[in-house]
Amino acid sequence: MVAGEIKLTPKSLFGYVLFFLGLVLLVYVCMNAIYLASGTFQPLKIELADQSGRIVGTIETQVFLGIIVQIGMYALIIAIASILMKNGMSIARKE
C-alpha cells in the first residue's frame, strides 16, 4: 500500500461520513461563536416566573442564565463532534 493511497470501501466511506458530520458540527459551533462575539446573535434569555406568573430576577440574571445554558449546549455539541470524528477516523483506517 502506498502512503498517499486511500482505499474506499463501504466501511471506510461510513467512517469518513462520520468524520465529516463531526466537522460540520464544529463549524456550526465556530460560526455561532463568531456571530455571538460580533453581536449578530444575542445570547439566550431565560425568564424565571413564580407561581403567579411574575418574572423573577433582572435582565442581567436572565442573560447570565442564558449564557450558562448556551455554554453547556455548545460543550455538548463539541463533545459529540469529537466522538464522531474520533470514531469515524478509527473506522475509516481499519482494514
What is the pTM (predicted TM-score) of this model?
0.81
Going by C-alpha positions, the residue among 43, 48, 31, 34 that lies closest to residue 68 is 43
Cell of residue 17, nine digits: 461520513
Judged by DSSP in three states, 49 sits in: strand
- pLDDT tens digits for 29-47? 999 999 999 999 998 888 8
| DSSP conformational letter for 56 | E
Mean pLDDT of 68-76: 96
More confident residue, 92 or 72: 72
Domain ranges of the chain: 13-93
Give pLDDT, residue 51: 80
More confident residue, 10 or 94: 10
CA-based end-to-end distance of the chain: 12
Give the torsion through C-alpha atoms of 15, 18, 24, 25, to 10 deg. Answer: -140
